[in-house]
Amino acid sequence: MSRKSDTNLLTERSLFLFKSLVEHFIQDGLPVGSRTLARDTRLDLSPATIRNIMADLEDLGLLSSPHTSAGRVPTIKGYRLFVDSLLRVNALDEGEIKRIAREMDPEQDVKNLMEKTSSALSEITRLASVVTLPRIEGRSLQHVEFMSLSENRILVILVVNNKEIQNRIINTARVYSPAELQQATNFLNEKFAGKSLDTIREEIVEELERMKNNVNRQMQMAIEMAQKAFAGGEHREDYVMAGHTNLMDVAELSDVEKLKKLFDSFNQKRDILHLLEQSIHARGVQIFIGEESGYEVLDQCSIVTSPYEVDGKIMGVLGVIGPTRMEYQRVIPIVDITAKMLGSALNSH
Amino acid sequence: MSRKSDTNLLTERSLFLFKSLVEHFIQDGLPVGSRTLARDTRLDLSPATIRNIMADLEDLGLLSSPHTSAGRVPTIKGYRLFVDSLLRVNALDEGEIKRIAREMDPEQDVKNLMEKTSSALSEITRLASVVTLPRIEGRSLQHVEFMSLSENRILVILVVNNKEIQNRIINTARVYSPAELQQATNFLNEKFAGKSLDTIREEIVEELERMKNNVNRQMQMAIEMAQKAFAGGEHREDYVMAGHTNLMDVAELSDVEKLKKLFDSFNQKRDILHLLEQSIHARGVQIFIGEESGYEVLDQCSIVTSPYEVDGKIMGVLGVIGPTRMEYQRVIPIVDITAKMLGSALNSH
DNA sequence: TTTTTGCACTCTCATATCGAGAGTGCTAAA
DNA sequence: TTTAGCACTCTCGATATGAGAGTGCAAAAA
């Protein structure tokens, strides 16, 4: 190692070789040997030389061999180097962009938009995809409406940011007349329309306080209803997924046990959600490779995420989940553009 | 065969033996041999005798052996006989009923109710479950409301049967004032509330016809909007599923290829939907065993379904999907009761 | 006539053996 | 510094082998 290493290990040549090896491995998933590399590389070197270089790369922790007499595969650290410094991202296929754009009809309702986006993303990448629903916090109320369903059940309709419609049903202690509901509707719209839900909740608390001395029955009633209508619950953090089954094709996960664990964690959502949260504050594409994610089930997987934003505010995250040996150069730009397009689809109107 | 068969094949004893064999096989999935059966049966017979009987049952097409020297397994025909005539259904576990009841809070919105039901069903049976959304046809409109979202986009809120809320967004050629919307809302509620959606659509067509000569602008406008609001689209037939991953534990499906095909067909929904439709007109629990379903992917699977109804009208179907060797005696009553409970949950209010 | 015993036969499954092939690391030569 | 040569290691597929389970059939027993 010593002297030799210092002059040799990080040469352009060895990096080039490393890159070729990773690309090879990504393509067909088989450990790559010196012969293969010697043959398919414009460098005119004998397998023996390449073996030397590969040994050096292994010392650096970038490669490892599954067993003595197999070729080499990239380690997590190797992938990291690859995606951070070596990767040249593909130009995007026009057709694919069009394809995504087509699904993103901004006329549809938000949940639907997310589902369409997710399934487009998974079909194009041929991997599993995930899209978190946009955070409702910080979004502004456009309109609220009460509608009587039966004796003491009232339907509340919240229109948020022009696009998203939420229905909630609240139970009331007494029966309200249509006129009363109408009054409450008018009052609350006048008072709260245009404000963010956060603000509204705060103001409701203040009003409740002030109310103690107030005698206006109408207002009192309206605020009480508002309290129920806007109460906690909220769109709890959630996401939609698509294309699970794409993962069943990848050889690394061909073990049913492993797959089941993975799918189960998708259903439970907790771990995945936590992971996505980490990337919500990063700007641009972020990549978790294998164990880096910190979740055992994702051992053999990489996750490529990007937050999507509206008016410069991050509203959520989307991404794809696939084997560590996914085609990063293809997937990364797709995730990137999809996030941007989703942001602007949410933005229009 | 001849004479011997006639007197021997369908004796009580052979049926008892057959039943024991099926139960054994359902329990541990291994072909059942004569020794095992001789040991575990109160009949005091030697393995040889049992072999004779099994040979007869095989001639009848009720059993088959995977290979010369394995025990016997039930054929499709065998399962059919078993579930139709031999099965003694388990008494229901109180806890399980309570469990289902707990999930079925009739306060929640319909989609939610279906999802809860489905996941309860899959967790209790430890199989995959499916619940179709209730058909909207034949249900009656309680209330309709228009709300302006932006220049020429209007949110339509339909409350159907007190429980289900539908949001739709329609695009209009020109801008409508809030007053106009209010008028339309009032007009349509007066005219249509309480009628079934089918009827409403019919009446809209009639009105459009009559309209040609009519000069009342208000009405004309309202009807035009109604046309868009109630147009086709509809809740297209759809279902929710839960517990896919339970199927990954069953040995018969341990092949990833097969599983993928199965899951894909769940996602495409077409085949499954078609299958469920067949059972929507049956009353009570229905069972499709293996190939009987007519779909190749369901080769190794059985489906136990039951329609659920409100006021004697069938609204949808629910069921579970599992291996042919599922515990029918446990699953059947669960599916049955769940369907009934779902019906009454939909009914309340 | 029905049941059982005895036995030869078949098939699977787990295990061991073997050789080919791929790939390595090291040493010595170019 | 690179290459050639070579011994070595490990996997993988093919083949053999034997134990175990279970069968079917014929003849004896009930």
3-state SS track over A51-71: HHHHHHHHHCCCEECCCCCCC
Fill in the DSSP letter of residue A155.
E
Length of chain B: 349
Q: For the segment A178-229, what is each residue's pLDDT rounded down to a tens digit?
A: 888 888 899 999 999 888 888 888 898 888 888 777 667 778 888 888 888 8
Across chain B, what does the average pLDDT equal? 88
pLDDT band, residue A1 (cuts 50/70/90): very low
Q: For the segment A14-52, what is each residue's pLDDT rounded down to a tens digit?
A: 999 999 999 999 999 999 999 999 998 888 899 999 999
Give residues lining strand D (CB < 7 Å). A 4, 7-8, 44-46, 48-49, 52, 67-70; B 31-36, 47-48, 51, 54-55, 58, 65, 68-72
Whether A267 has its CB under 8 Å from any CB of chain B: the answer is yes
Please identify which residue in the block is written with the tokens 């004479």: B3
Q: Which nucleotides of D are covered by protein (CB under 7 A)?
A: 1-5, 8-11, 20-26
- How many alpha carbons lie under 13 Å from residue A146 in its C-beta half-sphere? 32
Whether B214 has its CB under 8 Å from any CB of chain A: the answer is no
Q: Do A149 and B171 touch (CB under 8 A)?
A: no
Query: How distant is the alpha carbon of residue B322 from its chain centre?
Result: 13
Q: For the segment A99-117, what is each residue's pLDDT rounded down to a tens digit?
A: 999 989 877 778 889 999 9
- How many alpha carbons lie under 13 Å from residue A82 in its C-beta half-sphere? 31
Whether A109 has its CB under 8 Å from any CB of chain B: the answer is yes
Amino acid at A181: L
Q: For the segment A131-169, what is each residue's pLDDT rounded down to a tens digit?
A: 999 887 667 888 898 888 778 788 888 888 767 788 888
Q: Of A202-206, A267-271, A320-324, B72-76, where does mean pLDDT reach its minimum?
A: A202-206
Q: Please give the pLDDT value at position A7.
A: 43
Spatial distance between the Cα atoms of B262 and B318, rounded to a whole number of angstroms: 18
Whether A186 has its CB under 8 Å from any CB of chain B: the answer is no
Across chain A, what does the average pLDDT equal? 88
Contact status, residue B117 vs residue B335, Cβ threshold 8 Å: no
Spatial distance between the Cα atoms of B286 and B148, rounded to a whole number of angstroms: 47
Q: For the segment B337-348, what is each residue's pLDDT rounded down to a tens digit?
A: 999 999 999 887
Q: Please give the pLDDT value at position A58.
A: 95
pLDDT band, residue B303 (cuts 50/70/90): very high
> Does residue B312 carry a pLDDT above 60?
yes
Of the ranges A186-195, B47-56, B272-281, the best mean pLDDT one: B47-56
Q: Is the CB of B45 under 7 A from strand C?
A: yes
The arithmetic mean of pLDDT across residues A283-297, rounded, is: 93
Q: For the segment B5-43, what is each residue's pLDDT rounded down to a tens digit?
A: 344 457 899 999 999 999 999 999 999 999 999 998 888
